[in-house]
């Protein structure tokens, strides 16, 4: 019940916001903030009260019959992985609302309503235990995102929004085919199911139609492409830089912080757990296909990093860096051992936090200077010391400085992956150096050197902006110093997952 | 006269009708082509009814009669529409009525 | 199954009779009412729809519920399937009447005939949905066609409307002529006009080698021309963009929904009852033919819709594409396939009529049917704009809207039969379709209105009607009853 | 007790930093960050001394689980042995002194509090590195000191040269770090842990499990981990960042880039000593040796006082590496300690000199109008321009003006030059030379003597250039009278640390190293007996002995180490007396020669440096251009850039403008540009292309719809015919 409440409170908030008069903007913002804070409170409660020693799903609600004709059920519940990502989602919610406080000039009502809808979609996605429900929530995020980018975005927003939409839809129709295939093979007519736990059990039942290598390979591919677009994995990534660059700050934060995670979460929840044989085919290290997943991870890392290095747009740089960082997740998942998977999950969470910080920081600068050209700044370090300090923290976390959270996920992913894919992992470490290179180079061009006289009067970061950054910064440090804080949550879940493989 | 004779004639009528519909540059001629097509069908029905069904079953002839009625109705509507076309376009050449396209 | 005689049948025929009565009444009332601005005739026809609806329910639950009843010596059949379509068609008719009331495009002076014609066309469609005899099929088809030619050309001083009517009738006459020729061949081969018997006879004759498969193929293809023209499937679709663009918007809406539904009713009954035997399918692999036609239809419809600037025309192509999706269900020879078609038709009714209603509203207020006319609508008329978004997104098949569930059913059925390629074509098409739907959304939300920035206000009635379409579009997919409903309706179809 | 003391040592500087950080976030300043930091360091220093008594012979690590996964656990913990304690003392001591020195040196800087905050953070990180019992902890500290180094080199970030230098430092060391990380991955894959000590630690497992077959990968892993040290300790070929790092404030140079952080590489290598194989040891020895010689030769021709010291540091670090590679574990660490003190002293002394000149330089140098008062003038990356206050050609005769600075620096110079017996540097260096010679004698092939020759030459050159520095700075006539007049002795806060460090340059205070029981080399279980028979007591009798027991090796090795020294009563010592004696004699000779020539060139001026330079122009150029390392990195870069700019003409010149040196730039320009364009053109292009084609097909389909009804009808007819034909054929 608690979980349902958490998922649907933003939806309720959307209705409430829609009922408020368009003119009372402050009220709308406050209401939205309230309706995002409640899920946060619930998420924190869930996070605390989640039984860490038991990796199974908890707070299960359902299965409640929903669409009988297809045995579709309303079935939600959380395991360690979900609860971590739910916390991240719920945390970024209010942060984004605060970050949007002054930046959204037109149609604040519609913006906030869409944002709340988006939050429901994201929260529901991470809690869904029914494949159909899972898909519905997955798609539910599409439309608000399209509008949030398309209406409130930058100059090329239309292009970016439709590109995002089409790419994701392309991926998700393939996923849909795979999903229907799974459903049809789950049993005789009348006994078919979408229930994820049941399907996972069936898929490992000897002799069941789902427990068939060939079938699993194809279905794995279908789901994989769907999620790969979201992650994004090369070569499905080109929507991301455009979407990020055009989206307003808060939406970039959500995009990088949560939506990308939906892809990797799906990979873990569906591709890994449900199709272990398919996964094995792509990650057993034998031949081309056996290395393909790790290869994609490697390409993502190196390719994303080099692309980031070539960027002169601050936001695009951060966007490409996201691609690079998600590569570590893929690499870690491909390793299929506890280090790799834990690293990947940790990297998911950490990237959510760090990239959120980075996008917020870019937004702060953009709000002041109204451009994001890295070479157009210079020497801001002396003008905005606090801003510089926080940016340095975020950069260092992102480039994987030990002691900050980014390192742990990266290191664990690599350690896990090295066990299986020695050469690819070694090559992937290029990403570490390049990652340092582009961040430091950016730091130099924006903050170091002599102050660009144009920006002598640039105001320092203000309290509201710091407020959005501080919780993330604290998380970055806490998780860097004490990663068990997060790992405790999903250690058992990962163990369960590995037992399935 | 066997069934084949009727069928051949009907086929010729049908083909002529189609030919007229495709090639005539006058809406009235097209209408006539359509009438040919419909009549070929009627002929078929009547002939099949005569040769293929028991003599008590006259459903084919009935269909043919309905066909004639409907053909007449269609002709009426067609002519009315041709009038409207002539009023709006000043021509009843079908290839000149092509503002809607793409 | 014993057929009822003519007089006995009349009670079962009450919905159709009511339609006729009201059509006449509307004409008479029109003569009586002097006030040209009066909406009495429209409301009378609405009452007619309502009464017919009641009659449909009555006949269905009194007689048809227990199993199919054959009427008028086997001319038509009363069963769950036909009742389903009748309800659907009545909804479409009622909606069209309401649209017409609000459409400023239609000429007020001619309203009496207009509504009478609408009721008449509904009658024709009722017959299409229930006929089981070649004669009845032809008559009903022609009834629908003739009235729709007139309705398409109803705008007397609009060249576009006249052109639409001209093209429609020329095309329709040739297509139905071709179909009639095919029907005559069938009749000749089987020696009977009864669909159920045709199947058996043809099977026997084929087995005995008395007729050539080629003859059956020709007959089937000719019939397909007529049916394909009704449901606007490639290559018999070409009339529809022009007609949809030229016809008055309510009529376009009606044609795209009701005419197509009736066409599918006819198609399903014809192919399943008439050609459904295994031997026939061995001789002529019509399911495969339909699969190709279906793939072509959705692809052509979607691709041609991409560059359209006129929203009506764009929706015309979109409706062609939807015909393609629907045809997928017909390929399968399973009750799931048919059930999916029926469910999708319900969904399609709401979302497509909704979209056309918005087009009517915008045409009234902005005076434009072009995509540019929709610019900045989000700020000028936000509710209407959002409603349009819901319809379009649902048409594109994105959850959680009903269109998704409709597609879901179709694709599940297709995949279940192993037509992976067809499902993939369909899904990729739905991605393409998003692109042109999004163009309208883009115009409404992402582009500025230019100099015209006044907000447009609509009456409460408008919003009420709009919500009649919006609410089902959002919720139908979540309600079990519709799935059950469509599945029950299918249960009467003979399946191999 | 141990844990709490170490915790205090770590927490003190961390707290000092945290207070600054929290206040900084609130945009406020802690008024007395300097006192806070300094006191924190002093407390840590006291605790470090207290720890001296806590050292036990076979310590167990004190660990907690840091990351626990299903099957694997990564623990964090402290490991306290004699080396740890000594390192702790060195770090806290030098750090405290640098703190005190900075209170004078950095006085008046607008970012004064921040400087101390960074110093605190650095101290914490360095101490963390030192006490960590596992590779992960070491790596964490390793990267954190890198960060601090970055922040401190770029402390005056308004200077472009500083901004470049800090980035270069971070990136160059990160290249090495990646190697180290790969090495860690290899070890982890094998041992499932990254803990070094204790049961189940890498060393215990390695001793128990590894066989000859494992030597190949273990060698690779060893070399890879050493890569980290190459980066951090500025060994060839990743040494170029260290001279540039002199852009940072001089106290930073003393603390980070001379005494502690750069020595961390040596410390790491020493920590990994038990798993170094024959091959990896050799690689380490050669890298160290070549670095020692090359850097020393470069130092001869520098005029920037800080750069001379920087190259000297590189050279000395190479020395230490050489020692450890040659198996002289104790000697390497001993030299690390002594070097920390005298090199810190030299840097602080140079800082004192710069400080003396600086006030004047600032007062008179109006042409440098920069945002920051500490602007030291534009120095080109390649060092062709030297800030006047660091240029030794402007100095001379300062010994009267700055007596304390002069005397303390002289002591340090004597120490580094290896002047016998009374200076600590002599003992440590001598020990290295003895170790290397001893090793060379035992190595099967003769050519490893080259290591000894290298070491010896480096020692001589060191003596030469260090005295060159002293002569040019403190002796002779003032070359720039105006500057000379302005110079003055530094304030007490700066001279007191100098004096303390000078005292530390005498061997008395380094007694711990002479106690052979206190610091013992750890065993190297898998160095196979045949190659290392010389270590065993039997080997003197020429026996290529049988495989040794673990215990035997360690005992023997310890005996060799201490025995080689020969200055203490040592009952276990029979070993390489001859080797040691030879080494000592030779080292005294080369040091003497070096000082003598230096005196001839730069004091007596009987020989002219210029004429020698002219005579040996090519060699001089080689030295002057630092063996063209920077030019090589740059040259490759430029050539490729030209090629690139033709290839990707539209990729704007801004990238070229932003060129810094280093291989990093090559990749940045070429690969990144290519990848960026690839992404835009190919991947995105492909997708857009699909969209275009779809659209175009849409246009075509649309064109069929001509508007002429008869065309439509024709399509119907054609469609029917086609369908019939197709299905007829089926």
Q: Return per-residue pLDDT of chain C as tens, 496 residues.
A: 677 788 888 888 889 999 999 999 998 888 888 776 778 888 899 999 999 999 999 888 887 667 788 888 888 888 888 888 999 999 999 999 988 888 877 765 567 888 999 999 999 999 999 998 999 999 999 999 999 999 998 887 888 899 999 999 999 999 999 999 999 999 988 888 888 888 888 888 888 888 888 888 899 899 999 999 999 998 899 899 999 998 988 999 999 999 999 999 999 988 888 888 777 887 788 888 899 999 999 998 988 888 888 999 999 999 999 999 999 988 887 888 888 899 999 999 999 999 999 998 888 888 888 888 888 888 888 888 889 999 999 999 888 889 998 998 898 888 888 888 998 899 888 888 888 888 888 888 877 766 666 777 788 888 888 999 999 998 888 887 777 777 777 776 665 4
Mean per-residue pLDDT for D664-682? Answer: 58
Asked if A166 is an interface residue toward chain C (Cβ–Cβ < 8 A), one would say yes
Interface test with B, best of C72, C146, C148, C173 (most B CBs within 10 A): C173
Residues 666-695 of chain D whose Cβ lies under 8 A from any Cβ of chain A = 667-668, 671-677, 679, 683-684, 686-687
As a whole number of Å, the CA-based R_g of chain C is 22
pLDDT surpassing 70 at residue D730: no
**Alpha helices of C332-373 — where are they, by DSSP H?**
335-366
3-state helix, strand, coil in chain B (%, to 5): 80, 0, 20
Contact indicator for A420, A283 with CB cutoff of 8 Å: yes
Residues 654-713 of chain D whose Cβ lies under 8 A from any Cβ of chain C = 694-695, 697-699, 701-702, 704-705, 707, 709, 711-713
Contact indicator for A252, A260 with CB cutoff of 8 Å: no
Dump pLDDT digits (tens) for B2-56: 888 999 999 999 999 999 999 888 899 999 999 999 999 999 999 988 888 887 8
Select from D328, D458, D357, D353 the least CA-distant residue to D408.
Answer: D353
Q: In Å, how far are A105, A156, A248, A356 from A369, measured between CA atoms?
A: 17, 19, 15, 20
As a whole number of Å, the CA-based R_g of chain B is 17
For C239, the closest of D701, D712, D724 (CB atoms) is: D712
CATH topology of domain B3-89: Helix Hairpins (1.10.287)
A62: phi > 0 → left, psi -120 to 50 → alpha, else beta; which? left
Asked if B58 is an interface residue toward chain D (Cβ–Cβ < 8 A), one would say no
d(CA C155, CA C157): 6
Judged by CB atoms closer than 8 Å, whether chains meet at C188 and B78 is answered as: no
Asked if C296 is an interface residue toward chain D (Cβ–Cβ < 8 A), one would say no
Chains D and C touch (3+ CB pairs under 8 A): yes
Q: What is the pLDDT, as a whole number, of residue C137? A: 92
Q: Give the tokens for residue D715.
A: 């399509």
Rounded to 5 degrees, φ, ψ at D422 are -95, -5
Judged by CB atoms closer than 8 Å, whether chains meet at D701 and C178 is answered as: no
Judged by CB atoms closer than 8 Å, whether chains meet at C153 and B81 is answered as: yes
Q: Give the tokens for residue D558.
A: 């310890």
Judged by CB atoms closer than 8 Å, whether chains meet at D713 and B100 is answered as: no
Handedness of CA C478, C481, C486, C491 (dihedral sign): positive
Dump pLDDT digits (tens) for D231-280: 888 888 777 788 888 888 888 888 888 778 888 888 888 888 888 877 88
Beta strands in C48-181 (DSSP E): 69-71, 76-78
> How far C117 CA sits from the closest chain B CA (Å)?
13
Judged by CB atoms closer than 8 Å, whether chains meet at A449 and D163 is answered as: yes
Q: In Å, how far are A117, A246, B51, D192, D355 from B44, measured between CA atoms?
A: 63, 67, 10, 88, 117
Please tell me the pTM assigned to this model: 0.85
Residues recorded for chain C: 496
Mean per-residue pLDDT for D652-674? Answer: 44
For D724, the closest of C221, C239, C305 (CB atoms) is: C221
Interface test with B, best of C170, C252, C306, C312 (most B CBs within 10 A): C170
Q: Give the tokens for residue D50.
A: 């207290």
> How far A170 CA sits from the closest chain C CA (Å)?
6
Judged by CB atoms closer than 8 Å, whether chains meet at C303 and D715 is answered as: no
Q: Give the tokens for residue A341.
A: 């998977």
Residues 78-97 of chain B whose Cβ lies under 8 A from any Cβ of chain C = 78, 80-82, 84-85, 87-89, 94, 97
* Sequence-ordered list of residues with C-beta below 8 angstroms from that of D88, at least 6 positions apart, any chain: D9, D48, D51, D127, D130, D131
Asked if B13 is an interface residue toward chain C (Cβ–Cβ < 8 A), one would say no
Q: What string of DSSP letters covers C77-108? A: EESHHHHHHHHHHHHHHHHHHHHHHH-SSS-G
**Alpha helices of A370-483 — where are they, by DSSP H?**
380-383, 385-398, 405-420, 422-428, 430-447, 463-481
> How far D720 CA sits from the closest chain B CA (Å)?
13
Select from C91, C37, C73 the least CA-distant residue to C468.
Answer: C91
Q: Which residue of C has its CA nearest to A107?
A: C379
For D713, the closest of C174, C218, C242 (CB atoms) is: C174
Contact indicator for A474, A482 with CB cutoff of 8 Å: no
Dump pLDDT digits (tens) for B49-66: 888 888 788 888 989 999
Cis peptide leading into D686, omega within 30 of 0?
no
For B22, the closest of D702, D706, D710 (CB atoms) is: D710
Q: What is the pLDDT, as a whole number, of residue D544? A: 32
Asked if D713 is an interface residue toward chain B (Cβ–Cβ < 8 A), one would say yes
Beta strands in D412-466 (DSSP E): none
Dump pLDDT digits (tens) for D563-586: 333 333 333 333 455 667 777 777
Dump pLDDT digits (tens) for D474-523: 777 777 677 667 777 777 777 788 888 787 777 665 666 666 666 777 77
For chain C, domain boundaries? 285-496
Helix (H) / strand (E) element for D166: namely helix D160-191
Select from A324, C303, C195, A160 the least CA-distant residue to D684.
Answer: A160
Neighbours of D689 (CB within 10 A): 11
Q: Hunting for tokens 């102050």 — which residue is that?
A: A451
Q: Which residue of D has its CA nearest to B95?
A: D708
> How far B37 CA sits from the closest chain C CA (Å)?
6
Walking along chain A (501 residues) 10 residues at a time, the average pLDDT comes out as 88 90 86 91 89 82 82 88 90 90 83 91 91 90 88 84 84 88 84 87 83 88 90 82 87 90 90 88 84 88 79 84 90 88 90 92 87 82 83 88 86 87 86 82 82 81 86 89 86 84 78
Return the bridge partners of A76, or none. A61, A128
Select from D490, D20, D538, D510 the least CA-distant residue to D250.
Answer: D490
Give D603's DSSP letter: I
> How far C462 CA sits from the closest chain A CA (Å)?
19
Q: Which residues of B touch D705 (CB under 8 A)?
A: 101-102
For D727, the closest of C225, C285, C305 (CB atoms) is: C285
pLDDT surpassing 50 at residue D555: no
Contact indicator for A465, A364 with CB cutoff of 8 Å: yes
Q: Give the tokens for residue D384.
A: 């062709």
> How far B1 CA sits from the closest chain C CA (Å)?
17
Q: For chain D, what percent of residues have pLDDT higher than 90?
A: 0
SS3 D405: helix
Counting as contact any 3 or more CB pairs under 8 A, the partners of A are C, D
Select from D490, D112, D94, D446 the least CA-distant residue to D254.
Answer: D94
For chain B, domain boundaries? 3-89
For B38, the closest of C180, C246, C307 (CB atoms) is: C180
Class of residue D367 by CB neighbours under 10 A (exposed 0-12, middle 13-18, buried 19+):
exposed
Neighbours of C209 (CB within 10 A): 8
SS3 C71: strand
> How far C418 CA sits from the closest chain B CA (Å)?
36
Q: Give the tokens for residue D13.
A: 């500087």
Q: Which residues of C touch B41 (CB under 8 A)?
A: 177, 180-181, 183-184
Return the bridge partners of A65, or none. A73
Half-sphere exposure of D229 (CA within 13 A, CB side): 33
Neighbours of A217 (CB within 10 A): 18
């Amino acid at each position: 019940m608690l979980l349902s409440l958490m998922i649907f409170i933003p939806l309720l908030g959307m209705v409430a916001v829609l009922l408020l008069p368009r003119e009372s903007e402050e009220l709308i913002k406050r209401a939205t903030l309230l309706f995002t804070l409640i899920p946060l409170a619930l998420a924190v409660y869930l996070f605390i009260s989640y039984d860490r020693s038991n990796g199974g799903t908890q707070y299960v609600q359902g299965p409640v019959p929903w669409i009988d004709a297809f045995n579709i059920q309303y079935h939600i519940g959380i395991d360690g992985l979900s609860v971590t990502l739910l916390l991240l989602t719920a945390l970024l919610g209010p942060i984004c609302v605060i970050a949007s406080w002054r930046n959204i000039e037109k149609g604040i009502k519609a913006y906030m309503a869409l944002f709340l809808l988006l939050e429901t979609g994201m929260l529901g996605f991470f809690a869904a235990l029914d494949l159909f429900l899972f898909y519905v929530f997955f798609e539910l995020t599409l439309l608000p995102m399209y509008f949030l980018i398309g209406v409130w975005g930058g100059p090329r927003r239309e292009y970016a929004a439709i590109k995002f939409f089409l790419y994701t839809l392309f991926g998700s129709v393939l996923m849909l085919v795979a999903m229907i295939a799974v459903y049809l093979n789950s049993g005789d007519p009348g006994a078919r199911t979408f229930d994820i736990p049941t399907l996972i059990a069936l898929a490992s039942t000897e002799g069941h139609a789902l427990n068939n290598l060939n079938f699993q390979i194809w279905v794995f591919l279908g789901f994989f492409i769907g999620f790969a677009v979201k992650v994004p994995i090369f070569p499905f990534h080109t929507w991301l830089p455009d979407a990020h660059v055009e989206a307003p700050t808060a939406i970039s934060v959500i995009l990088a912080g949560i939506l990308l995670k939906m892809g990797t979460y799906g990979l873990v929840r569906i591709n890994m757990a449900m199709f272990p044989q398919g996964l094995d085919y792509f990650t057993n290290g034998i031949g081309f296909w056996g290395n393909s997943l790790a290869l994609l991870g490697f390409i993502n890392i190196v390719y994303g990093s080099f692309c980031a290095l070539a960027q002169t747009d601050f936001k695009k740089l951060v966007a490409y860096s996201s691609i690079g960082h998600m590569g570590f997740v893929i690499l870690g998942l491909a390793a299929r051992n506890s280090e790799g998977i834990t690293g990947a999950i940790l990297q998911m969470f950490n990237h959510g936090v760090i990239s959120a910080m980075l996008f917020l920081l870019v937004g702060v600068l953009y709000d002041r200077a109204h451009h994001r050209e890295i070479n157009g700044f210079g020497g801001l370090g002396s003008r905005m010391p606090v801003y510089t300090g926080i940016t340095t923290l975020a950069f260092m976390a992102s480039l994987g400085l030990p002691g900050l959270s980014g390192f742990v996920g990266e290191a664990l992913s690599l350690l896990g992956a090295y066990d299986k894919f020695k050469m690819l992992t070694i090559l992937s470490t290029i990403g570490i150096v390049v990652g340092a290179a582009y961040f430091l180079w950016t730091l130099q061009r924006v903050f170091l050197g002599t102050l660009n006289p144009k920006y002598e009067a640039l105001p320092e970061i203000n309290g509201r902006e710091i407020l959005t950054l501080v919780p993330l910064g604290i998380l970055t440090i806490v998780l860097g110093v004490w990663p068990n804080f997060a790992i405790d949550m999903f250690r058992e879940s990962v163990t369960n997952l590995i037992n399935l493989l | 006269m066997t069934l084949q004779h009727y069928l051949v004639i009907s086929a010729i009528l049908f083909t002529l009708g189609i030919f007229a519909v495709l090639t005539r540059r006058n809406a009235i001629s097209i209408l006539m082509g359509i009438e040919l097509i419909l009549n070929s069908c009627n002929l078929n029905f009547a002939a099949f009814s005569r040769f293929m069904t028991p003599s008590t079953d006259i459903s084919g002839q009935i269909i043919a009669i309905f066909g004639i009625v409907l053909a007449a109705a269609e002709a009426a509507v067609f002519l009315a529409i041709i009038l409207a076309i002539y009023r709006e376009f000043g021509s009843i050449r079908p290839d000149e009525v092509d503002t809607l396209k793409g | 199954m014993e057929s009822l005689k003519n007089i006995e049948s009349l009670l079962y025929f009450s919905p159709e009779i009511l339609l006729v009565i009201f059509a006449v009444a509307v004409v008479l009332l029109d003569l009586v009412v002097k006030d040209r601005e009066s909406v009495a005739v429209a409301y009378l026809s609405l009452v007619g729809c309502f009464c017919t609806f009641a009659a449909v329910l009555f006949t269905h639950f009194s007689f048809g519920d227990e199993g199919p009843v054959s009427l008028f010596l086997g001319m038509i059949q009363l069963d769950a399937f036909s009742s389903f379509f009748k309800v659907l068609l009545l909804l479409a008719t009622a909606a069209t009447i309401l649209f017409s009331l609000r459409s400023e495009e239609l000429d007020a002076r001619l309203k009496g005939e207009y509504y009478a014609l609408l009721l008449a066309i509904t009658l024709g469609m009722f017959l299409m949905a229930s006929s089981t005899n070649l004669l009845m099929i032809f008559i009903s088809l022609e009834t629908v066609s003739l009235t729709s030619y007139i309705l398409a050309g109803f705008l007397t001083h609009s060249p576009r409307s006249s052109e639409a009517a001209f093209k429609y009738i020329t095309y329709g006459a040739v297509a139905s002529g071709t179909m009639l020729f095919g029907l005559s061949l069938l009749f000749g081969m089987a020696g009977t006009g009864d669909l159920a018997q045709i199947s058996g006879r043809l099977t026997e004759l084929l087995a005995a080698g008395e007729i050539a498969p080629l003859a059956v193929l020709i007959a089937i293809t000719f019939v397909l021309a007529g049916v394909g023209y009704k449901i606007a499937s490639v290559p018999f679709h070409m009339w529809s963009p022009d007609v949809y663009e030229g016809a008055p918007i309510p009529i376009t809406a009606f044609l795209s929904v009701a005419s197509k539904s009736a066409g599918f009713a006819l198609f399903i009954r014809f192919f399943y009852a008439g050609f459904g035997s295994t031997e026939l399918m061995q001789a002529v692999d019509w399911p495969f033919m339909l699969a190709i036609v279906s793939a072509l239809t959705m692809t052509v419809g979607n691709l041609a819709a991409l560059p359209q600037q006129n929203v009506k025309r764009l929706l015309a192509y979109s409706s062609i594409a939807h015909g393609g999706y629907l045809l997928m269900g017909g390929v399968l020879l399973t009750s799931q396939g048919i059930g999916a078609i029926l469910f999708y038709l319900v969904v399609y009714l709401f979302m497509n009529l909704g979209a056309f209603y918005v087009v009517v509203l915008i045409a009234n207020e902005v005076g434009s049917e072009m995509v540019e006319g929709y610019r900045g609508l989000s700020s000028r008329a936000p509710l209407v704009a959002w409603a349009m978004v819901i319809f379009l997104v649902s048409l594109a098949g994105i959850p959680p809207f009903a269109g998704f569930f409709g597609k879901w059913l179709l694709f599940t059925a297709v995949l279940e039969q192993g037509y992976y390629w067809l499902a993939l074509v369909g899904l990729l098409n739905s991605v393409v379709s998003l692109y042109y739907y999004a163009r309208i959304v883009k115009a409404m939300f992402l582009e500025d209105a230019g100099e015209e920035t006044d907000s447009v206000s609509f009456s409460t009635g408008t919003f009420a009607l709009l919500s009649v379409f919006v609410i089902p579009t959002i919720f139908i997919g979540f309600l079990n009853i519709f799935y059950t409903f469509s599945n029950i309706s299918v249960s009467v179809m003979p399946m191999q | 007790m141990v844990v709490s003391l170490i915790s205090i040592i770590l927490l003190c500087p961390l707290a000092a930093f945290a207070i600054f950080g929290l206040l900084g976030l609130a945009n406020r300043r802690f008024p007395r960050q300097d006192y806070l930091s300094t006191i924190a360091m002093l407390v840590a220093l006291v605790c470090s001394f207290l720890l001296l008594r806590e050292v036990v012979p076979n310590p167990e690590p004190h660990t907690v689980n840091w990351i626990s996964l299903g099957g694997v656990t990564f623990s964090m913990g402290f490991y306290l042995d004699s080396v740890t304690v000594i390192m702790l003392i060195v770090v806290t001591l030098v750090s405290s002194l640098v703190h005190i020195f900075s209170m004078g040196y950095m006085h008046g800087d607008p970012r004064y509090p921040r400087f101390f905050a960074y110093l605190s953070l650095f101290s914490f990180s360095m101490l963390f590195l030192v006490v960590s019992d596992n590779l992960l902890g070491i790596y964490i500290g390793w990267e954190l000191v890198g960060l601090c180094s970055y922040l401190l080199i770029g402390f005056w970030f308004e200077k472009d040269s500083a901004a470049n230098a800090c980035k270069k430092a971070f990136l160059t060391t990160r290249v090495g770090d990646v190697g180290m990380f790969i090495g860690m991955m290899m070890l982890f894959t094998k041992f499932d842990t990254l803990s070094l000590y204790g049961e189940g630690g890498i060393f215990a497992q390695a001793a128990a499990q590894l066989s000859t077959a494992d030597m190949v990968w273990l060698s690779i892993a060893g070399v890879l981990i050493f890569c980290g040290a190459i980066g951090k300790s500025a060994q060839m070929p990743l040494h170029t960042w260290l001279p540039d790092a002199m852009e940072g404030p001089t106290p930073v140079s003393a603390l980070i880039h001379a005494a502690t952080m750069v020595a961390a590489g040596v410390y790491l290598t020493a920590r990994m000593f038990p798993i170094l194989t024959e091959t990896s040891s050799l690689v380490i020895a050669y890298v160290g040796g070549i670095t020692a010689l090359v850097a020393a030769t470069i130092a001869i021709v520098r005029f920037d006082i800080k750069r001379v010291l920087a190259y000297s540091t590189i050279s000395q670090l190479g020395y230490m590496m050489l020692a450890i590679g040659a198996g002289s574990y104790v000697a390497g660490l001993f030299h690390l300690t002594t070097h920390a003190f005298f090199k810190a002293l030299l840097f602080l002394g140079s800082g004192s000199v710069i400080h003396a000149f600086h006030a004047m330089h600032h007062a008179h140098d109006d042409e440098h109008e920069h945002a920051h008062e500490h602007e030291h003038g534009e120095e080109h990356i390649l060092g062709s321009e030297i800030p006047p206050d660091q240029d030794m050609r402007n100095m001379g005769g300062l010994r009267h003006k700055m007596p304390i600075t002069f005397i303390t620096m002289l002591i340090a110079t004597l120490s580094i030059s290896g002047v016998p017996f009374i200076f600590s540097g002599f003992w440590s260096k001598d020990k290295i030379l003895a170790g290397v010679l001893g090793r060379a004698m035992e190595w099967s092939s003769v050519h490893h003597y080259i290591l000894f020759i290298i070491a010896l030459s480096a020692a001589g050159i060191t003596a030469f250039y260090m005295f060159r520095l002293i002569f040019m700075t403190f002796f002779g006539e003032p070359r720039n009278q105006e500057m000379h007049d302005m110079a003055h002795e530094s304030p007490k806060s700066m001279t007191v640390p100098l004096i303390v460090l000078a005292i530390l340059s005498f061997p008395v205070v380094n007694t711990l190293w002479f106690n052979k029981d206190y610091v013992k080399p750890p065993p190297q279980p898998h160095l196979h007996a045949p190659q290392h028979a010389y270590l065993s007591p039997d080997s003197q009798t020429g026996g290529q002995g049988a495989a040794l027991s673990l215990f035997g090796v360690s005992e023997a090795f310890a005996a060799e180490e201490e025995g080689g020294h020969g200055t203490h009563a040592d009952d276990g010592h029979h070993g390489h007396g001859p080797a040691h004696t030879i080494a000592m004699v030779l080292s005294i000779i080369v040091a003497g020669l070096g000082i003598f020539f230096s005196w001839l060139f730069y004091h007596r001026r009987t020989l002219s440096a210029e004429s020698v330079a002219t005579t040996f122009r090519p060699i001089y150029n080689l030295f002057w251009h630092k063996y063209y390392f920077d030019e090589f990195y740059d040259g490759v870069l430029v050539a490729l850039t030209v090629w690139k700019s033709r290839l990707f003409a539209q990729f704007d010149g801004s990238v070229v403008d932003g060129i810094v040196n280093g291989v990093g730039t090559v990749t940045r320009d070429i690969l990144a540009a290519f990848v960026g364009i690839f992404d835009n053109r190919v991947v995105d292009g492909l997708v857009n292309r699909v969209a275009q084609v779809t659209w175009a097909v849409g246009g075509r389909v649309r064109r069929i719809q001509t508007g002429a009804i008869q065309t439509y009808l024709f399509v119907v007819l054609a469609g029917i015919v086609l369908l019939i034909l197709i299905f007829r054929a089926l």
